[in-house]
Structure 1
Amino acid sequence: MSFRTVIITKESKLSLRMNHLVIKSDTLVQVPISEICCLIIENPNITMTGHLMNVLTENKIMTIICDKKHLPQTFLHSVYGHHRQSRLIEQQMNWQKSHKERLWQLIIQKKIMYQKQVLNHYFRQLDLTMFDRYAEETTSGDSTNREGHAAKVYFNIIFGNEITRETEHVKNAGLDYGYQILLAIFARTIVSKGYLTEIGIKHRNEFNLYNLASDLMEVMRPLVDYIVLKNVVNEFEKDEKRKIVDVLNCKVVINNKLYYLVHAIEIYVESVFKYLSTGNEKYIKFPSWKY
């Protein structure tokens, strides 16, 4: 089972040799491909062989390339992720609207309660019963936008009056970094299951290549929020990024068992696809965690 997160920070040449990732910079390092879960390329001044890129996608290794600001910019994944991809995409195009709206309702209800969980940890003195109400009032498809109301209250509590979610601030930089890590995991998982990331259940932005990943990751955003609030205070540099990337080593509960985050997401995504294809809610398995 893969377990390593490899981060490239120096100008390097990456290649493949004997089924090992070879990193050549000031030194020469080799890492078995079978051990790599995630490859993050922070320094854009790298060269990479085509053989390596193909092996990374064949082994479903999450590969993230950062921009000049060292923020995640590009994901590397295969064009065809599953041998029955055509059939699965046809199913995706025909998912029933009622199933999608019900799924979105469940996702938002979970997200709101996980937001409350974050606030309970950091702001114990507050009365947070409004989040129970937001979750209870969430309707099919969230037609009354309880998600938006909850998010406004949630981020106002987290940030106070000093900043908003759109402000340039170290905490927002940390959130964006963590969310992009999550998005990469979900995008890779969706492609590996044979579905299109572009076709979402709620997100329908024609300029977003990852609508479906954006949908399914909503439930796990509060986990990133918790990590950012814990580790990002006055600056967002190398150490803070490493602590956010360490979310990959978190263990969460799904189906009454503990799994590393990446493997829990695979179970969650697979369960959602079973529900969308059948309409049977017993298939849905949401991850959960405690702080």
Structure 2
Amino acid sequence: MIKRTLYFGNPSYLSLRNAQLVLRLPEVSNNDTLPDTFKKEAERTIPIEDIGVVVLDHSQITITQGLLEALLENNCAIITCDKSRLPVGLILPLCGNTTQNERFRDQLNASLPLKKQLWQQTVQQKIANQAAILESQGIIAKNMRAWVGEVRSGDIDNMEARAAAYYWSSIFPHLDSFRRDRDGDPPNNLLNYGYAILRAVVARSLVISGLLPTLGIHHHNRYNAYCLADDVMEPYRPYVDGLVCEIMESGKDYSMLTTELKAKLLSLPVVEVGIQGRRSPLMVAVAQTTASLYKCFNGELRKIIYPEL
């Protein structure tokens, strides 16, 4: 079943009742002139088991401990936003798999040659998917297709960086000297938001697969709590880029992250992707990817299953 992504961008009371998330609006609940029957009818309920990601994007949202506990018990990822209304925090369950200890050990014992091979596969698929995005925009990407075959174990030649330089200089041809920078000019704001949602989806799936999101196969920043998520999400980033291209082509003003633009980016988990010859929602595909990664760690597989654009 495809899990739902819920976005809360207004003052809200969020609580738990009968295994359901209950949404109440303060302006309704605190209005003594309204009858109790109207207040009851104004409530919205959503089954906890249907929820995969929750985005809390307002400083006046109140959420109960009981609801938090229920969401985490059901392997939900909870994203919190700062005063600028950008994702700033991620809450994940501590235990998401019944054989977690065994899986942690397999992950910790993975050999360096294996991790280098897995990173090679990751970079190859990332570059291939970036090439597909460029081609969908009518941009030549033969060089990137050739670079896919030149990625060696561990990407010791840093083909990822070479591809990225060409990719970002080409993907938005109508923008002069676009530079991919977290603090840069739009559409960096759209990319940042989309990647934050993607990161949460991947981290959630890693936990469900019984893996530690902190221990990467390539990323190893000592201050990064989600190195493995940052590794695994690389071939999925072009799907965010594709959504951003659609927004820009629509002619909408993207200088500010409006609710409408956020809604478009929050559709990422249900974007259809091709994986193993089938079409699947991105959230389902990520689950296949993280499950295959564990099988690589325990010796069942030698290749991660990634989507192909």
The TM-score normalised by the length of structure 2 is 0.88
Residues 78-93 of structure 1 aligned to structure 2 (within 5 Å): 78-93=93-108
Q: Which residue of 1 aligns with 2:32?
A: none
User: Which runs of no fewer than 5 residues in structure 2 stay unpaired?
Assistant: 28-41
> Structure 1 residue runs of 4+, over 4 Å off?
none
Looking at structure 2, the residues matched to 228 and 54 of structure 1 have their Cα atoms a distance apart, in angstroms, of 34
Identity level (%): 31
Q: What is the Cα deviation at residue 28 of structure 1?
A: 2.3
Counterpart for residue 29 of structure 1: 44
Matched position secondary structure for 1:81: coil
Aligned pairs for 1:1-291 (under 5 A) are 1-25=1-25, 26=27, 27-122=42-137, 124=138, 126-159=139-172, 160-166=175-181, 168-232=184-248, 234-235=253-254, 236-278=257-299, 280-281=301-302, 284-289=304-309
RMSD of aligned residue pairs (Cα, Å): 1.7
SS of 1:73's equivalent?
Answer: strand
> Whose relative contact order is higher, 1 or 2, with alpha carbons under 8 Å and at least 6 apart?
2
Question: How far, CA to CA, are the matches of 2:306 and 2:187 in structure 1?
Answer: 27
1:216, 1:138 → 2: CA distance?
17
- Residue 48 of structure 1 deviates from its aligned partner by 1.1
Please give the TM-score of this superposition, normalised by the length of structure 1. 0.93
Q: What SS is found at the alignment partner of 2:233?
A: helix
Work out the CA distance in 1 between the residues paired with 2:190 and 2:168. 14
Looking at structure 1, the residues matched to 151 and 59 of structure 2 have their Cα atoms a distance apart, in angstroms, of 43
How many residues end up aligned between the 2 structures? 286
Aligned partner of residue 219 in structure 2, secondary structure: coil
> Are the counterparts in 1 of residues 79 and 87 from structure 2 also a CA contact under 8 Å?
yes
CA distance in 2, matches of 1:49, 1:100: 41
Q: Report deviation, 1:279.
A: 6.6
Q: Secondary structure at the match of 1:175?
A: helix
Alpha-carbon offset, residue 24 of structure 1: 1.3
Q: Secondary structure at the match of 1:137?
A: coil
